[in-house]
Amino acid sequence: MSPLSPVQQTVSEAHRLRLDPIATPDRLLLGPGPSNADPRVLQAISRPPLSHLDPLYLELMNEVQEMLRYAWQTDNRFTIPVSGTGSAAMEATIANCVEAGDTVVVGVIGYFGLRLVDMCGRYGANVVQINAPWGEALSLETIKAAVEEHKPAVLALVHAETSTGVWQPLDGIGEFCHAHDCLLLLDTVTSLGGVPLKLDELGVDLAYSCSQKGLSCPPGLGPFTMSARAEAKLDARKSKVPNWYLDMSGLKSYWGSQRTYHHTAPVNMNFGLREALRLLCEEGIENSWARHRRNSERLWDGLESQGLQLHVPVELRLPTLTTVRIPEGVDGKAFALHMLNAHGVEIGNGLGDLAGQVWRIGLMGTNSKPENVDRLLNLMEQELPAFRQTAAVA
Amino acid sequence: MSPLSPVQQTVSEAHRLRLDPIATPDRLLLGPGPSNADPRVLQAISRPPLSHLDPLYLELMNEVQEMLRYAWQTDNRFTIPVSGTGSAAMEATIANCVEAGDTVVVGVIGYFGLRLVDMCGRYGANVVQINAPWGEALSLETIKAAVEEHKPAVLALVHAETSTGVWQPLDGIGEFCHAHDCLLLLDTVTSLGGVPLKLDELGVDLAYSCSQKGLSCPPGLGPFTMSARAEAKLDARKSKVPNWYLDMSGLKSYWGSQRTYHHTAPVNMNFGLREALRLLCEEGIENSWARHRRNSERLWDGLESQGLQLHVPVELRLPTLTTVRIPEGVDGKAFALHMLNAHGVEIGNGLGDLAGQVWRIGLMGTNSKPENVDRLLNLMEQELPAFRQTAAVA
């Protein structure tokens, strides 16, 4: 079957579909993510692609890096969007800075802590798990005691647990880690852009996030950052990073001054991320944090005034994601599906330990505004009684 | 720094940029990729996102899978777009089906064969390299002899070498591999959609590609497929796949009937891929192959009539990517940069062994049309003489 063969090829028609153009509806995405993308971001994404080595694209990369530093409040030189989703950026932190045999203490306060445990195991770490019930945070004492006892190379914590809606306090943990020669790794998937977070002030060495929550961009990129301390650990590795795609020693040459080809960057997604970060720079990160808090408080008040119970105590509640207890007897999944199909509004179901127990309501990025809160509260008030009645009858 | 703190946060303004909206030009991308995306694809990408678990998105995933089977001419159940670029899909084939200690024979006819060698090494394979000079293909005899001698678990070949423009003949290799209990892994990054390719007829067990070449979509997704034979090898692994993001045993539950959450899919990129595959289904894959061949022949004739020399003998030339020898004394990089800056037309520079020796001209996907060939030929005729003169003077 030479490409030059003059004979017309015969092919199988088995999987040839004849489809209509895409006609997806415009949903209001108030689940755990993706959130809605800002229209300006969607417009940027649809520009004609450039080459990943085009001088204009290289300039755009610099801008994206710089604005990510702003969003994270870090001076880290090595701050880039990984060419995959948040989970890829999560794996990048571990693949690069955990070597087989390293001890890693992982704080598990929900589903994503367990994912960190799974990933660390795949990279040969000696994993020590410290746990809190799903809906609580770890105490600073528990964390410090684990670091003192196990002397880990890395302490991995989740700043904002997407499965529970819990915010993890971190006061003094960074300093404590560094005094114990340990890197601090932080999951900021559901906090970046929406929850007060200053990486350098906190002493965070490795962090990752996603594009589709606080940043109002579609999913597809995973912001990643590493401190000079983390870079030093990468440089001192005895073995190659056992993951080619996420190997930052290879990616350094592309993102640095050499601009050596590594892989073909998802250029259009990066067009979108640039615009998303521009929006954040326009608003001011501190104003974005305050807006997220304000709108969530409006949501919490409204839900509680409808007699609904919030799963997380107010002092640990995330301003980006709220977990609401499903009232006794109500079929939570059926209600969420009804909201989606009848009203085009998405709320999330519970995950892991909280499956069937809570709904997860996200107010992230451009979605965090009073109109959305009110629309959701009105719909809940209007629609939930029928589901409660069904429960009462059954 | 509690998210509930009533005090307005003070933040660093160090990395806060005030940028103009994105204003990238509309290039004609005739390099090794990305190629231009079809306008219909760009429109699809800019639709508001859906959740990755939305019933409408799950339906769209089925459509994408089915049309990828058509594009590859395979019945493989497990055919999906990986949530990363082509290199991620490449790594997925190896991460899942190569276990530490497995022998892998890799055919190296250029840069991407070397990348396979690097990746296989990271996954602990015993790698045997068989080489051809950059610009030639491996003979069927050489390949078969290596399989007979080394009895590999996997034979990895590059169907279309993007660094050299060479097409690798494969007649009978699939059968031969299966008779020797070996999986056949094939790089189809620069062939999918543009070069005659029927995976099942060839007996290919693992293949990967990208979105930004023959499929006319921006970069960001990596089509991946595995045969039942490859699935069996994955199922029989003694150890977990040492890569969480690309672990197909986890992804099976998301893409299969269970629809279990794995990671948040890049939904907008998949909107685009659906449209790109719709275009292919409209045209007919055999017509797309014929179109790519026709336009490349037009390019080859035009270049040769300008006295330029093609690097690859006609019987091994790819209809998607042409390598042209840079005339003696001409600064190839300077010429390519001039074409980009003065005319908005991108051609690629040489890579690896061919750096400084060739230009790489891609005619892929929507870009493969006579108008583009003629535009490029006219520009070469108009602009190259000045660069030849400089060479003569210097």
Question: pLDDT by residue (tens digit) across A339-358?
Answer: 999 999 999 999 999 999 99
Q: How far is Cα B325 from Cα B312, in angstroms, rounded to an integer?
A: 10
DSSP letters spanning A78-109: EEEEESS-HHHHHHHHHHHH--TT-EEEEEES
pTM above 0.95, yes or no: yes
* pLDDT at A7 exceeding the cut of 90: no
How far is C-alpha B135 from the chain's CA centre? 18
A359: confidence class by pLDDT, cuts 50, 70, 90: very high
φ and ψ of A296, to 5 deg: -70, -40
Q: Chain B partners of A294 at a C-beta cutoff of 8 Å?
A: none
Chain A: residue nearest B292 by CA?
A: A3
Q: Give yes or no for residue A16 having a pLDDT over 90.
A: yes
Copy the structure tokens of residue A164.
């529970």
Closest chain A CA to residue B116 = A244
What average pLDDT does this structure show over A45-73?
Answer: 96
A-interface mutation test, from B69, B204, B243, most A Cβ less than 10 A away: B243
Instruction: Name the minimum distance, in Å, from the CA of B340 to any CA of chain A.
Output: 9
CB contact under 8 A, B264 and A212: yes
Contacts of A117 (CB under 8 A, 6+ apart): A106, A108, A127, A129
Sequence-distant (≥ 6) Cβ neighbours of residue A157 within 8 angstroms: A106, A107, A138, A143, A168, A170, A173, A184, A185, A186, A187
The full set of domains in chain B, from first to last, is 28-33+285-393 (3.90.1150.10), 39-282 (3.40.640.10)
Mean of per-residue pLDDT scores for chain B: 96
Q: Supply the Cα-derived Rg of chain B in whole angstroms.
A: 23
Do residues B186 and B376 make contact, with C-beta atoms less than 8 angstroms apart? no
A214-235 pLDDT, tens digit per residue, is 999 999 999 999 999 999 999 9
Angle at A321 between CA A190 and CA B45, to 5 degrees: 60
pLDDT tier, A256 (very low <50, low <70, confident <90, very high otherwise): confident
CA nearest neighbour of A163 among A26, A375, A322, A327: A322
Q: What is the pLDDT of residue A394?
A: 58
CA distances from B152 to A168, A214, A216, A243, B156 (A): 49, 48, 47, 22, 10
Amino acid at A41: V
CA angle A62, A68, A73 (to 5 degrees): 125
For A248-288, the DSSP string reads HHHHHHHHSSS----S---HHHHHHHHHHHHHHHHH-HHHH
SS3 at position B141: helix
Chain B residues within an 8 Å CB radius of A83: 84-85, 88, 220
Q: Report whether B93 contacts A88 (CB < 8 A).
A: no
Q: Tell me if residue A392 falls in helix, strand or coil.
A: helix
- The 10 Å Cβ neighbour count of residue B148 is 10
Burial annotation A323-337 (CB, 10 A radius, 16+ → b, else e): bbbbbeebebeebbe
Tell whether the model's pLDDT for residue B278 goes beyond 70. yes
Q: What angle do CA B218, B224, B229 make, to 5 degrees?
A: 170
Question: Which pLDDT score is estimated for A6?
Answer: 52
Contact assessment for residue A152 and residue A173, using Cβ atoms and an 8 Å cutoff: no
Check whether A389 has a pLDDT greater than 80: no
Is the pLDDT at B51 greater than 80, yes or no?
yes
Interval A294-323: pLDDT, tens: 999 999 999 999 999 999 999 999 999 999
Q: Please, what's the b/e burial string for A14-42 (b: 16 or more CB within 10 A of its CB; e: otherwise)? A: ebbeeeeebebeebbbbbbbbbbbbebbb
Q: Output DSSP code: residue B337.
A: H
Condensed to tens digits (0 to 9), the pLDDT of residues A62-77 reads 999 999 999 999 999 9
Q: What is the mean pLDDT of residues B115-119?
A: 98
- C-beta atoms of B198 and A1 within 8 A: yes
Is B70's CB within 8 Å of A19's CB? no
Residue A384: pLDDT over 90: yes
Residue of A8, A46, A259 for testing the chain B interface, max B β-carbons within 10 Å: A46
* CA–centroid distance for A384 within its chain: 29
Q: Using CA atoms, how far apart are residues B248 and B78, in angstroms rounded to an integer?
A: 9
Helices (DSSP H) in chain B: which residue ranges?
39-45, 55-72, 86-97, 111-122, 140-150, 173-179, 199-202, 228-235, 248-255, 267-283, 285-305, 332-343, 370-393
Contact across the interface for A317 and B3, Cβ inside 8 Å = yes
Q: Which amino acid is at B320?
A: T
Hey, are the CB atoms on A56 and B25 less than 8 Å from each other? yes
CB burial string B331-357: b at 16+ within 10 A, e below: ebeebbebbbeebebbbbbbbeebeeb
CA atoms within 13 A on the CB side of B79: 24
Sign of dihedral through CA atoms A213, B222, A116, B53? positive
The pairing of strands A358-362 and A321-325 is antiparallel
**Angstrom distance (rounded) from CA B173 to CA B361:** 29
Answer yes or no: are the C-beta atoms of A189 and A214 closer than 8 Å: no
What pLDDT is attached to residue B1? 59
Side-chain half-sphere exposure of A60, counting CA atoms within 13 A: 29
pLDDT at A9: 78
Neighboring chain A residues of B36 at a CB cutoff of 8 Å: 48-49
Span B216-234, pLDDT tens digits: 999 999 999 999 999 999 9
User: Token pair for residue B86?
Assistant: 């082509």
Measure B246 CA to nearest chain A CA, in Å.
9
| CA distance readout (Å), B127 to A17, B153, B168, B206 | 40, 11, 20, 17
Q: Report yes or no: A110 and A133 within 8 Å, Cβ to Cβ.
A: no
CA B131 to chain centre: 21
Residue A79: phi and psi, rounded to 5, are -135, 110
The residue of chain B with its CA nearest to that of A268 is B218
| Contact assessment for residue A170 and residue A107, using Cβ atoms and an 8 Å cutoff | no
Token code pair at residue A47: 């520009």
- Stretch B260-279: mean pLDDT: 96
Provide ipTM, 2 decimals. Answer: 0.96
Mean pLDDT computed over A189-197? 98
Q: Which among A11, A33, A196 has CB closest to B9?
A: A196
Q: Cα distance from A372 to chain B (closest Cα, Å)?
A: 16
Measured CA distances, A345 to A35, B45, B57, B266, B360 (Å): 11, 21, 15, 20, 49
Kindly state the average pLDDT of the residues B339-344: 97
Asked whether the beta carbons of A64 and A41 are under 8 A apart, the reply is no
Please give the Cα distance from B335 to B353 (Å, whole number).
Answer: 19
- Which residues in chain B have their CB less than 8 angstroms from residue A16's CB? 67, 70, 281, 284-285
Number of A–B residue contacts, CB under 8 Å: 348
CB spacing of A73 vs B12 below 8 angstroms: yes
Residue type, A137: A
On whether the CB atoms of residues B334 and B387 are closer than 8 A, the answer is yes
State mean pLDDT over B358-376. Answer: 98
Find all residues with CB under 8 Å of B222, minimum gap 6, and list them. B81, B82, B84, B85, B86, B87, B88, B89, B90, B92, B208, B209, B210, B211
Shortest Cα distance, chain B CAs vs residue A85, angstroms? 7
- CB-based burial label for B388 (10 Å; 0-12, 13-18, 19+): middle
Dihedral, CA of residue B288, residue B199, residue B111 and residue A50, to nearest 10: 40
Q: What percent of chain B has pLDDT over 90?
A: 93
Q: A187 near A109, Cβ under 8 Å?
A: no
pLDDT digits (tens, 9 = 90+) for B74-90: 999 999 999 999 999 99
By CB atoms closer than 10 A (0-12, 13-18, 19+), residue A375 is middle
A33-60 average pLDDT score:
96
d(C-alpha B265, C-alpha B248), whole Å:
14
How far is Cα A272 from Cα A45, in angstroms, rounded to an integer?
Answer: 5
Confidence check: pLDDT of B5 > 70: no
> Of the candidates B11, B119, B314, which has its C-beta nearest A286's C-beta?
B11
Contacts for A88 with CB less than 8 Å, ≥ 6 apart: A82, A222, A245, A246, B83, B84, B88, B245, B263
- Contact list, B73 vs chain A (CB under 8 Å): 11-12
pLDDT at res. B390: 72
Q: Which residues pair with B158 in a beta bridge?
A: B187
